[in-house]
Amino acid sequence: MGNCVFCEIVKRVQSAYIIYEDDKVMVFLDKRPYNPGHLLVIPKEHYTDIFDIPDDLLAYLITIVKKMSNVVKNALNASGIRLVQNNESSAGQVIFHFHFHIIPYYDTIDFPTDKQSIADILRKWINETKGIPNH
């Protein structure tokens, strides 16, 4: 889809700190994080919102959201995780390519908060656990 920044990230026309990808999904750091480690989980194929994403893809996506929530919780020692998913501009959707936000919360932040360091920590965690752990 033209002019879609997330499709451009999938095609690697735009850069992003990509944490995980497979044939269906991509996970990367939010460009303007609410908190350090704020992730976006998107389908690689372009769907606008909850109203047009197919059920089976949505079901798969939420399993990745769960796994990545565990990665953030454990790798960055988050005390809590907020999930956000906005549909239509009136509800705060800014990029019109379906996405989940994974927003971690912390009691204390004990890691470097620049994006490169966070990406390295998360990628290392996934590599060492040989895939995305469930818990």
Applying CB under 5 A, the span of 1-9, 51-59, 78-86, 104-112 interacting with Zn ion comes to 1-9
Distance separating alpha carbons of residues 110 and 98, to the nearest angstrom = 32
When binding is defined by CB under 5 A, the residue of 1, 59, 83, 91 that contacts Zn ion is 1
Applying CB under 5 A, the span of 58-66, 74-82, 92-100, 118-126 interacting with Zn ion comes to 92-100
Residue 46 makes contact with Zn ion by CB under 5 A: yes
When binding is defined by CB under 5 A, the residue of 27, 97, 103, 122 that contacts Zn ion is 97
Cβ-count burial 23-45 (b if 16+ within 10 Å, e if not): eebbbbbbeebebbbbbbbbbbe
> Is residue 135 flagged as an active site residue?
no
- Dmax over CA atoms of the chain, in Å, equals 41
Residue 99 makes contact with Zn ion by CB under 5 A: no
Distance separating alpha carbons of residues 104 and 81, to the nearest angstrom = 4
- Catalytic residue positions, numbered: 99
